[in-house]
């Protein structure tokens, strides 16, 4: 089937390449000339495991191409819209400028019977507003939210755990759902749940999922705050309650909290939309979820200051990690960089290392020192803080070896990902998050 993908950022580029990898003919369209040129030449503009391989394969096979010309969308059966919905400046609500612009630019190139499939994360009610504009061309709007995890985005697109299609009522909606089933035929054929809903439910699925995950993370971080004043161990607490099948252990890792381009902005936009709908009290707890999350960054900085005797001024602090999570070079709302910048502001000499995110971090925060080599970054440090749980730090860094490189022996485990006993036995003063 011929498909177009409007918006070739993180979501769109992965979706375009993944759809080509399962046999579709795909054109990716974006207004950013530099991004399009990189993709067209077979270069992934960001780090995502597996993307480079399917991007190269799709272009070589002739199933995938990229352009800045929206007219090239004409002739596609399904047009995916995957542009960004950033947080509005000066507010919490989502900015729909790019969604509206993408749909308006696409309208002249639609044909009767086409599908426009929204994938962007939008406030509930957006699809209902857009549908009449799409219907006026004879095309049909559907909402097909994405559920990508950065670091696993290719896998989540090619082999998702569920597919959701928000469609209009009646025969038009049934036809639209059948077309989407055909688009995702490998997944549908293997029994992946394909859930057909109305527009509003499809829009809520994404934000509700993100709100739940954010709440679960902030819950265990709230328990870490209690553990810190009682002497309890939040990691043992998480293990114990995680055995309850109703709760589960995933996303109960206490630390410095979540970041990235989705969870923080999505829960804020959800709160803002609920206020607009007159139901702000229904998700008022999300404000506290956000506040707990931000407090953990404060706590990581405080732990470092206290461990260094009350001041980090003129001290050498090595920060292990810059990306908001491992297997990504994404630094959007990165807790790691937030902590690094705050320590720098307190007068510390901050050195940051990361396997993939240094270039992006340097562009935004050039005041920090960046060193690619982990051991070189550790050399001469008075304190080390782990803020992104790359395997290079949590599994492959030997505490005895690290001690031969640093000047001090203070380790702040901002992700509770290290073996505390091993580090203490090697002579380090270990500080975890919510651990005695």
In angstroms, the CA 301 to CA 359 distance is: 24
In angstroms, the CA 380 to CA 377 distance is: 8
CA-based torsion, 285, 290, 294, 299: positive or negative: positive
At residue 270's C-alpha, the angle toward residues 268 and 271, to 5°, is: 65
In angstroms, the CA 401 to CA 434 distance is: 26
Task: Quickly count: other Cβ atoms within 10 Å of residue 435's Cβ.
Answer: 19
Is 255:221 a contact under the CB 8 Å cutoff?
A: yes
Residue 262 falls in the annotated catalytic set: yes
Is 142:180 a contact under the CB 8 Å cutoff?
A: yes
Tokens (6 digits) for 35: 């991004």
In angstroms, the CA 165 to CA 118 distance is: 10
In angstroms, the CA 191 to CA 357 distance is: 37
- Beta-carbon contacts of 76 under 8 Å, excluding residues fewer than 6 positions away, are 2, 3, 4, 27, 114
Give the active site residue among 5, 44, 204, 262.
262
Closest among 388, 149, 384 to 257, alpha carbons compared: 388
Task: Quickly count: other Cβ atoms within 10 Å of residue 279's Cβ.
Answer: 11
Tokens (6 digits) for 247: 């709760």
Which residues are marked as active site? 262
């Amino acid at each position: 089937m011929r498909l177009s993908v409007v918006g070739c950022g993180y979501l769109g580029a992965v979706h375009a390449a993944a759809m080509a990898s399962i046999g579709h003919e795909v054109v990716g369209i974006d207004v950013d000339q530099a991004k399009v040129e990189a993709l067209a030449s077979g270069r992934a503009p960001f780090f995502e495991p597996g993307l480079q391989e399917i991007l190269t394969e799709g272009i070589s096979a002739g199933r995938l191409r990229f352009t800045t010309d929206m007219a090239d969308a004409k002739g596609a059966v399904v047009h995916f819209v995957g542009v960004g919905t950033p947080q509005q400046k000066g507010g919490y609500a989502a900015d729909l400028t790019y969604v509206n612009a993408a749909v308006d630019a696409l309208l002249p190139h639609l044909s009767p019977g086409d599908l426009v499939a929204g994938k962007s994360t939008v406030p509930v009610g957006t699809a209902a507003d857009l549908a009449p504009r799409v219907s006026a061309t004879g095309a049909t709007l559907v909402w097909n939210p994405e559920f990508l995890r950065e670091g696993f985005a290719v896998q989540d697109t090619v082999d998702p755990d569920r597919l959701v299609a928000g469609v209009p009522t009646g025969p038009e909606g049934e036809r639209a759902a059948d077309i989407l089933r055909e688009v995702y035929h490998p997944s549908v054929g293997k029994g992946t749940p394909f859930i057909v809903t109305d527009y509003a439910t499809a829009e809520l699925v994404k934000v509700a999922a993100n709100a739940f995950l954010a709440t679960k993370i902030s819950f265990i971080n709230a328990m870490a705050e209690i553990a810190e004043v009682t002497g309890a161990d939040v990691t043992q607490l998480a293990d114990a309650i995680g055995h309850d099948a109703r709760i589960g252990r995933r996303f109960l890792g206490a630390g410095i909290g979540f970041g990235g381009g989705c969870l923080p902005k999505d829960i804020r936009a959800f709160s803002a939309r609920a206020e607009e709908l007159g139901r702000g009290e229904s998700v008022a707890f999300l404000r506290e979820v956000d506040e707990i999350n931000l407090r953990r960054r404060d706590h990581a900085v405080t732990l470092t200051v206290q461990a260094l005797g009350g001041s980090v001024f003129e001290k050498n602090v090595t920060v292990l990690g810059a990306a908001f999570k491992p297997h990504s070079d994404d630094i959007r709302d990165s807790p790691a960089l937030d902590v690094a910048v705050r320590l720098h502001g307190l007068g510390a000499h901050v050195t940051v290392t990361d396997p993939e995110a240094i270039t992006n971090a340097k562009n935004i925060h050039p005041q920090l020192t960046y060193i690619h080599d982990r051991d070189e970054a550790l050399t001469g440090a008075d304190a080390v803080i782990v803020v992104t749980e790359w395997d290079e730090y949590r599994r492959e860094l030997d505490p005895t070896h690290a001690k031969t490189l640093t000047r001090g022996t203070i380790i702040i485990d901002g992700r509770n990902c290290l073996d505390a006993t091993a580090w203490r036995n090697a002579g380090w003063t270990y500080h975890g998050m919510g651990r005695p």
